[in-house]
Structure 1
Amino acid sequence: MPGPAPTDTDRALVVGIERYPSLGLNPLKGPVGDAGRMADWLVNSAKARVTLITSDGSPESPWTVADLRPTMQDVTDSFVGYLRESNGRPTRRLARRLYVYMAGHGFMPEPRNLAIIAADALGDQYIPNVQATSWVDWFADQLYFDEYVLFMDCCTTRTFLYNGGKPLMKKTAERQDGRGKVVMAFAAGSDVETFEGPLADGRIGGFFTDKLLRGLKGAAAHGDGVVRTSGLISYFRNSLGVVGDGAVADAGSEHAVDPMFPERAELEFARVELPKYVFRAPLADDVLLQIFDTENRLIASGQIAQGAVTLPIGLGIYRARGPDGLSKVFEIASGTTGEVNLA
C-alpha cells in the first residue's frame, strides 16, 4: 500500500509578465493583475505557499520600471529553490502538489511544449524564455511532489527560430512508482494567439485566466460540489462562447476561450457551495424528486411544493426521477439559467 501523503503545504510558482521594453510586441495590461488574482486563490482556497514574480517585482523586493525583469534566471531560480529546500529530507518530498501559473507573451517551440518569454527579450535577436512544460515534466519524474498543475495564459504561436528554455538538470528519474500526476492547461491550442481585454468588472485581464478562476471558484464543480480536472474541461467546453459578463461571443472571436489540455490527470482543486436551481416538474405536492448523476449516484433530492423544488447542483449531466414514470435527462452547463423544466 502507498505510504502517507506529504503533509507540507502545497507550493505554487506564479509569474505575470506584461512589460517587454525591447521585444517589439504590443505591451500587455493583464498579466500582473491576473497573477495576483491567481495567487490570491492559491493562498486562500488551495492553501498553497506561493512565490509571486511579476513585472512589478519579486518576493524579495520590487524593481523599477527601467529594470528588464523578471528574467529567465529569476523564474529558473524559483524552480531550483524547490531542490534546495529539499536538501536534508530523506525522501526529498516537499509537498503533495506543485502549482505553476504563467501569464505573458509566449510561444510553442515544440509540439505540446509552451514557453513564456522573459522581460529582457531583445527584438527577434534574443528571446530568453522558460519552457514551463519541460520543467513540470522533469519534476514529474522526481520525488519532490506527487501532483503537478500547470496553467499558462500565453500565445501558442509555433516558431522554430528560438529554442525553448528547458531545465539544465540531470535527467534522472528518481520516482520508482511511475510518473507523478500532471494537469496542464494552455489558453489556446497549437499556433493560436490568446487575448486580454475588459472583463465584467471593468478591469483588463486574460480571458482564459478569468474563466479559469471562475471555474476553480465553483462554476466547474461536479454535482457533489467538488471542482476536478474533468469539471474544468467540461466547463470550458460548455462555455466556449460565454464571456465574463454572461454575454455570448462568436466562437471565432477573440473573446471565445478554447483551451488545450495536454495532460489530464483527474485531480481535485476545490470544494465549493453549489448554486441552487429551481426544478419544475408535473408532480403533486410532497412527492420526492431525486437527481442522479451519470454513474447513478444520488446527488440531490427534495419534496415538490407547488410544482417545484429548489436543489443545489453543479455542472454536469443528470437524470431526474420521480413517481408516475418521471425520468428525464438534463444538463447543467455554463450559462444555464436558475430554472430547470422537467415537464
Structure 2
Amino acid sequence: MGAKDYAIVVGISKYPALGDLVGPEADARDFHAWLIDPQGGAVPEANVTLLLSSNYPVAAQLKAKPQVADIEAVFDDFYVKGREESVVGDRLYLYFAGHGFAPSLEDAALLMANAARGMTGYHIPGRKYANWFRQAAFFKEVVLIMDCCRENYQLSAVRNVPYEQLNGDPPATPFFAFATQWSRAAREGPWGDGGAMRGLFTLALLAGLRGGAARDANGQIAGDALESFVFNFVRKRFTEGGDQEEHPDPEFSYDKMKPLVFGAPAAAPGAAVPLAAADAYIVRIAIQNGDAGKKLTLSTNGRPDIAPAVQQPDKWEWHLDMAGLYKVTRSDGKSKLFEVIGEKKEAIDVSFD
C-alpha cells in the first residue's frame, strides 16, 4: 500500500476578495505529512502535489493563486497517463481545504484564491472530479477529503470536468469525507498546538489516522472506524469549547460493505518502532516515589505492550509513530489515559499524580 498511490493536496488561506483564512494551509501541510509518512499513507513524496497559498507571490484578486488551471494541470497529467496506459495507480487522494460552498446536495466546491462575490465560478467541485476518476477506473480507489464550508448558495454555474466520460470496469472504490453536512459551515479554531488555528475536521481526521481510531486485526484503520472516531472527536472538541452554536457534524460516503483501510499494518505486539526521536512523538514518565520498582506498560488499540525506547532509573520514554489515545499502566494496576496529538516537536510528560 502506498507505493503506487498519488495525491493532490490543496490548502488555500489567502483570498484577496473573500477574506483570508488561517487553518487551511496548516491543515494541508499536516495531511501531506501523514500521506508521505511510511507509517501513515506511505505515498512516495514524488507522487504528491502540494498546492498552498504560500507557494505563490501575493497578488491582487484576479491574479491570486492557486487557480482552477493550477489544479486541473495535475488532473490533466493523470488523464493523459490513464488514456495512454489504462491505469495510473492504486489509490488517488484528493484533499481540499479553504473557502467553499455546496453546488448540490451531495457535493462541495473549493473556491479558488481568485474567487470573489459574483465570481464564484472559480471553483473545483470535488465530488465531480472524484467520481470522474472513479468511473474511468484509472485508480482502484479514490479518497476525497474536503475541509470547507457547504453552505447552499450558488451564484455561478457548476464547473464540469473537462474530459469525455470514460467507463472503466470495475469502477474505483470510493471513500468521501466532508467537513460538514449540506448547508452548513465548516469550523476552524485555536485547536492546534499552542492554540494554533486549525480546521476541526482535519484535526479530527488526522488524530484518527495517527492512531486514535480503532484498528482491525491487521493493525490498520477501516473507513467505518475512522468515521466513528471523527464524528465523536468533533462533537467532543466542539462542546468542550462551550460554543452554543450547532456543531458541524461531518459527512461520509463509502461502501459500508467494503470500507477502505488506512495506514501501514502494525508491528507485532510489543515490537519496538525504530524511530529516531526527531521523527517520533515522545512520551516521557519521570519516575516518582510511587513508581519505583514497578513495571510501566504503554498500550493503544491493537498494540497492547509498546516497548520503551528508554528505560532508566529516573525515567521511561517511548518513541511513537502515531498520535492517538494511549494508556500507561503501572504493575500495581494504576493506569492513566492520555492523548497524543499535534506535531512531533516536544516531549509529552505523563504522571500518575
Same fold (TM over 0.5): yes
Q: 1:262 to 1:64 in 2, by over 3 A?
A: same
Distance across 2 between alignment mates of 1:84 and 1:212? 32
Letter in 2 for 1:228: A
Distance across 2 between alignment mates of 1:200 and 1:167? 35
Give 1:68's aligned residue.
64
Matched, 1:207 2:233: no
Matches within 5 A, 1:262-301: 262-264=253-255, 265-271=258-264
SS of equivalent residue, structure 2 residue 145: strand
**Contact 2:11 2:24 (8 Å CA) reproduced:** yes
**Contact 2:204 2:233 (8 Å CA) reproduced:** no
Q: 1:102 to 1:236 in 2, by over 3 A?
A: same
Letter in 2 for 1:191: S
String of CA shifts for 1:247-297, please: whole Å, max 9, x gaps: 83458547x5520013345011114669x9xxxxxxxxxxxxxxxxxxxxx
String of CA shifts for 1:104-154, please: whole Å, max 9, x gaps: 000111110111001111323453100010001111111310100000000
SS of equivalent residue, structure 1 residue 262: strand
Distance across 1 between alignment mates of 2:211 and 2:240? 20
Letter in 2 for 1:129: H
Give 1:134's aligned residue.
128
RMSD (Å), alpha carbons: 3.1
Distance across 2 between alignment mates of 1:14 and 1:68? 18
Q: 1:172 to 1:29 in 2, by over 3 A?
A: same
**Contact 1:217 1:272 (8 Å CA) reproduced:** no
Q: 1:221 to 1:65 in 2, by over 3 A?
A: farther
Matches within 5 A, 1:14-163: 14-23=9-18, 26-44=19-37, 45-48=40-43, 49-57=47-55, 62-66=56-60, 67-86=63-82, 88-89=84-85, 92-163=86-157
Displacement after TM superposition at 1:338 (Å): 6.4
**Bigger helix share:** 2
Q: How many corresponding residue pairs?
A: 274
Give 1:291's aligned residue.
none
SS of equivalent residue, structure 2 residue 206: helix
Letter in 2 for 1:95: G
Distance across 2 between alignment mates of 1:232 and 1:238? 10
Distance across 2 between alignment mates of 1:64 and 1:125? 19
**Contact 1:228 1:270 (8 Å CA) reproduced:** no
Distance across 2 between alignment mates of 1:64 and 1:208? 27
SS of equivalent residue, structure 2 residue 136: coil
**Contact 2:103 2:154 (8 Å CA) reproduced:** yes
Distance across 1 between alignment mates of 2:187 and 2:27? 13
Distance across 2 between alignment mates of 1:124 and 1:103? 21
SS of equivalent residue, structure 2 residue 54: coil
1:217 to 205, 210, 214: 210
Distance across 2 between alignment mates of 1:98 and 1:113? 18
Letter in 1 for 2:252: F
Q: Indicate the percent of aligned positions where both proteins have the same amino acid.
A: 28
1:164 to 158, 169, 174: 158
Give 2:177's aligned residue.
185
Displacement after TM superposition at 1:169 (Å): 1.4
Distance across 2 between alignment mates of 1:311 and 1:32? 33
Distance across 2 between alignment mates of 1:158 and 1:243? 25
Structure 2: stretches of 5+ with no match in the other structure: 270-293, 304-323, 335-353
Matched, 1:258 2:254: no
Structure 1: stretches of 5+ with no match in the other structure: 277-305, 316-333
